[in-house]
Amino acid sequence: MYSPTLESPATGSQLSGWEHPVEKPAETPSRLRALVRPWLAVLCAAALGASVGVVTGVGLAREITLDVDGKLTTHRSFAADVRGALKAAGVPYETGDMVSPPPSAEIGDDMTIVVRHARPLTLNLDGTSSTHLTTALNVQDALEELKMNPNKLQLSTTRLRQIPVEGFQLNARSQRKVTIVAGSMRIETTTTGRTVEEVLEESSVELGEGDKVSPGLSTFPPEDTVIRVTPGLPPHTIPISPDVAALNWDALARCESGPDPKLVSGGRFGLYRFSLGMWRAVGGEKRPVDWPKAEQTYRAQLLYQRLAGDWKRAWPECGDRL
């Protein structure tokens, strides 16, 4: 009987027809695990590295607050110092600007960085103009930065007026204490007037024709100025004889009043203790104490001439001093 034969592919040997080729066994699960395990280790290491990198990166970021010219914003920054944080946030600064903490300071958690950009303030004070660079955001802070007391200034705007970065012009008048002496009147006042004339107008002091004012009307009156108003003298139409003018009028004044041109005592006034009747009889206006020494002496000399030298009728106790 015919028996077929098969040739083994591997050896070329003859196989009987009743024999079957032996199949290669399939890969077992354990073998698959052995093959995959090294690759899993690599993938896990890579994932772990990425995870560590993310965690590490987040740990370096710090939350900071930027206060730039009064505007607050919050940022997460990886910068090591203030300079880097401001650069990352796009906040420029220059010499003259205020940065706190300073640019070289290290960044800390929950840090607030304050930036104030310098801005020009043109100050017109009592008519004199000057320009200053300030990092203050409003008028009051700027004045205090300039060592000026806002309470003693009359301002052209409110104290809380914001000063823009491009600059601002502020008009101000200082409050000053001055004294006005006009005749027998003495006024102590606080003023913002830029000239003596303005101060007199504020105090309702009217000037008569010929009145003299010291300091001059256009002068700026600083603190503690004394403004003196000397009334213009009435016309001296009657001449005084040389003999009368040569008498010792200073001695008479010393005996009568001390001498005190402002003396008021017992209905008598001034250097020569005029009664109002005697004063007006020789052309005197107002009261003797409202006039300076020269006017009082002129009226006394007129009285002496009118009395034809009879000094006892006017100055019975002191007339002999003439």
Q: What residues contact 272, with CB distance under 8 A and at least 6 apart? A: 252, 253, 256, 257, 288, 296, 297, 300, 314, 315
Reported confidence tier of residue 54, pLDDT bands at 50, 70, 90: very low
User: With 0-12 CB in 10 A as exposed, 13-18 as middle and 19+ as buried, what is 194?
Assistant: middle
Q: Is residue 36 part of a domain?
A: no
Closest by CA position to 232, among listed 156, 174, 295? 295
CATH number at residue 307: 1.10.530.10
Mind listing the pLDDT tens digit for each residue in 134-143? 999 999 999 9
CATH number at residue 150: 3.10.20.30
Distance from C-alpha of 280 to C-alpha of 270, rounded to nearest angstrom: 14
Per the listing, tokens 């290290």 go with 106
Q: Is residue 107 part of a domain?
A: yes
CATH number at residue 198: 3.10.20
Distance from C-alpha of 211 to C-alpha of 195, rounded to nearest angstrom: 17
- What is the tally of structural domains in the chain? 4
β-strand pairing of 168-174 with 119-125: parallel
**Structural contact between residues 115 and 86, judged by C-beta atoms closer than 8 angstroms:** yes
* Whether 133 and 168 share a structural domain: yes
Q: Check whether 237 has a pLDDT greater than 50.
A: yes
Give bridge partners of residue 116 from the DSSP assignment.
98
Give pLDDT, residue 91.
96
Per the listing, tokens 């010219």 go with 69
Reported confidence tier of residue 252, pLDDT bands at 50, 70, 90: very high
* Whether 266 and 316 share a structural domain: yes
* Whether 181 and 167 share a structural domain: no
Q: Check whether 317 has a pLDDT greater than 50.
A: yes
* Whether 303 and 274 share a structural domain: yes
Give pLDDT, residue 231.
82
* Whether 101 and 69 share a structural domain: yes
What range does the domain containing 247 cover? 242-321
* Whether 126 and 88 share a structural domain: no
Give pLDDT, residue 13.
41
Per the listing, tokens 């040569």 go with 246
Q: Is residue 11 part of a domain?
A: no
Q: Is residue 18 part of a domain?
A: no
* Whether 186 and 248 share a structural domain: no
Distance from C-alpha of 56 to C-alpha of 73, rounded to nearest angstrom: 25
* Whether 94 and 165 share a structural domain: no
* Whether 246 and 304 share a structural domain: yes
Q: Is residue 31 part of a domain?
A: no
Q: Is residue 183 part of a domain?
A: yes
Q: Check whether 199 has a pLDDT greater than 80.
A: yes
* Whether 312 and 256 share a structural domain: yes
Q: Check whether 20 has a pLDDT greater than 70.
A: no
Q: Is residue 53 part of a domain?
A: no
Per the listing, tokens 């007037």 go with 193
Distance from C-alpha of 288 to C-alpha of 283, rounded to nearest angstrom: 11
Mind listing the pLDDT tens digit for each residue in 155-183? 999 999 999 999 999 999 999 999 999 87
**Which of 189, 208, 230 represents a domain boundary (last residue)?**
230
Q: How far is CA 289 from CA 31, 128, 179, in A?
A: 132, 40, 19
* Whether 185 and 214 share a structural domain: yes
Q: Is the dihedral of CA 279, 280, 283, 285 positive or negative?
A: positive
* Whether 149 and 181 share a structural domain: no
Q: Is residue 34 part of a domain?
A: no
